[in-house]
Structure 1
Amino acid sequence: MSHDPASTVTLAPQNIYDDTTFFEGYKALRDNDTGLNGVLEIPALHRLLPDLSNLQVLDLGCGFGEFARFARTQGAASVTGVDISKRMLEEAATRTSDASVMYLHCPIEHYQPAPDAFDLVVSSLALHYIEDYAALVERVFQCLKPGGRFLFSVEHPVCTAYPAGWARDNEGRKRHWPVDHYRQEGKRDTRWFVDGVIKYHRTVETYINTLIQAGFRLEHLGEPAPSAEALKVRPTLEDDCRRPPFLFLRALRPVG
């Protein structure tokens, strides 16, 4: 089931996922599981989930709907997935046959959920595309029921601060990951499949303190590394033990 609550919005945020070149590159990456999602990010996300039985779940930046479908297999009562990309949602719809999953075409920044509507809000590697993180956190807090949780992953700030990639020697070997301009939060113009992919850098401090200021209680901070089993299968993942690619945060809306 789908709906378009953003159809009257004329100044939407960047929608790089509907760029043909970007979309095809991203789809191949996910479907072939050649990135870090399947081997690192998704398992780390699943480890942090509460019991999903009978929960009303919101997925911000739902993409192809993988999490929505997984949540239903774990007993979630319903899942609402929100994404800016029509291409992504069209693909999600073809892969989903479940009346209890609804996909909404809307920028995350413009989505206005009802108060106390959800038990769990999840976002996987989407919030570093959001300029006004504080406003989003406030909306998430209000849409959660007391006792509900907000769980999300973002590209780690050591990666978004100075997105130049690995410094290499003359033979192309990776020497180190440079970090610079860490305190200068804001827009970063990057390349991923195509030029001009806009991301927003913020510090770990900002990610956490914004949650606390909104009224959340921080439950977990994670910087997952590849497991020993994953390293045996893909030894190249050893590079991802040298710097953390992802930051995970889980926060609770207190009761009372």
Structure 2
Amino acid sequence: MEFSGASAYDNDQFFENYITRRNREESPNNMIEKPILLELIGDIEGKKVLDLGCGDAKFGIELLQKRCISYDGVEGSKNMVKEATKNLNGSLGKVHFSSMETWDFQPDQYDLIVSRLAIHYLADLKDLFKGVHYSLTENGRFIFSVQHPLLLSSIKGAEASSLKTDWIVDDYFTSGKRVEPWIDKNVVKYHRTTEEYYQLLKQTGFKIDDLREGTPRPEEFRNESEYKRRMRIPLFLIFSCVK
């Protein structure tokens, strides 16, 4: 059975396993991707924020603590919405049950739109990027991360081993659907080259002002061997764009 979009997280077993995996001490999401994302976001005091594919909205709590004036999370999984609602309780943040594809983008509404490791679940990005551009204020920013294209180009590496010390890169320039074994389920993701992401953003009207590949930072790691292992394979691709 294949799980598409947010549907995997509504499988209770997958959801529980994901939360355990996501919150482990040396999760690369926390130790590699998030510090870079926060650096790119910078000062958000007084900003209005939209988070596409917000998951449990713990990131939203961090942004609210950094004094953004509003936070809207969009999430297509019922299990994740329940978790996000609990986490945002008592804050100024809100979570909305909607897929990214069907979210009703309103004009000039947000100063910052973020998305963490969610966009690679979508088959078509043109309409999403147009909606994001439409919904940003003048000079508003769109900052998002995806699974690195080298990692997603072929599932052979994922099938070979869960503990990655090297990776098989194949079919890199063949874009499209990939069915990846992940947390004991088959999850549908969509591979695009770095060039494709860049061109789609450019065609939508964005200026790309920064791009990162998730270079690990030694100060984020307690375990030197884990740091050295993470230096071998790029896990993330992160774009910072301006309207």
TM-score between both structures, scaled by the size of structure 2? 0.92
SS of alignment partner, residue 151 of structure 1: strand
SS of alignment partner, residue 48 of structure 1: helix
SS of alignment partner, residue 110 of structure 1: coil
**Quick check: which has more Rg, 1 or 2?**
1
Q: Return closer, same or farther for 1:192/1:234 CA change in 2, 3 Å cut-off.
A: farther
Distance in 2 separating the partners of 1:166 and 1:193: 11
Matched, 1:216 2:206: yes
Matched, 1:19 2:15: no
CA positional deviation for 1:164: 2.0
CA positional deviation for 1:160: 0.6
Partner of 2:240: 250
Matched, 1:230 2:220: yes
Paired residues of 2:49 and 2:70 also in contact (CA < 8 A) = yes
Identity score, percent: 34
Partner of 1:163: 155
Paired residues of 2:159 and 2:181 also in contact (CA < 8 A) = no
Partner of 2:189: 199
Paired residues of 2:141 and 2:241 also in contact (CA < 8 A) = yes
Partner of 1:85: 77
Partner of 1:5: none
Q: Which amino acid aligns with 2:218?
A: A
Paired residues of 1:58 and 1:80 also in contact (CA < 8 A) = yes
Query: Of the two structures, which has the highest relative contact order with CA contacts closer than 8 Å and spacing of 6 or more?
Result: 2
Q: Note the alpha carbon deviations across 1:164-211, whole angstroms, 9 max, x for none.
A: 226979xx9966311110111000011111332000000000111111
Give the superposed CA RMSD.
2.1
5+ unaligned residues in a row in structure 2: which ranges? Answer: none
Q: After the TM superposition, which residues 81-230 of structure 1 pair with which residues of structure 2 at under 5 Å, given as runs?
A: 81-165=73-157, 176-230=166-220
Distance in 2 separating the partners of 1:175 and 1:58: 35
Q: Which amino acid aligns with 2:206?
A: F
Distance in 2 separating the partners of 1:98 and 1:62: 18
CA positional deviation for 1:119: 0.4
Q: Give structure 1 regions of 4+ aligned residues with deviation exceeding 6 angstroms.
A: 166-169, 172-175
Distance in 1 separating the partners of 2:192 and 2:164: 25
TM-score between both structures, scaled by the size of structure 1? 0.88
SS of alignment partner, residue 90 of structure 2: coil
Q: Return closer, same or farther for 1:215/1:230 CA change in 2, 3 Å cut-off.
A: same
Partner of 2:59: 67
Q: Return closer, same or farther for 1:107/1:156 CA change in 2, 3 Å cut-off.
A: same
CA positional deviation for 1:19: 1.0
Partner of 1:35: 27
5+ unaligned residues in a row in structure 1: which ranges? Answer: 1-11
Q: Note the alpha carbon deviations across 1:100-145, whole angstroms, 9 max, x for none.
A: 2110001111112211110000000000101111211111000001
Greater CA drift, 54-63 or 227-236: 227-236
Distance in 1 separating the partners of 2:160 and 2:98: 40
Distance in 1 separating the partners of 2:222 and 2:24: 18
CA positional deviation for 1:233: 2.7
Q: Return closer, same or farther for 1:173/1:200 CA change in 2, 3 Å cut-off.
A: closer
Q: How many pairs are equivalent? A: 240
SS of alignment partner, residue 247 of structure 1: strand
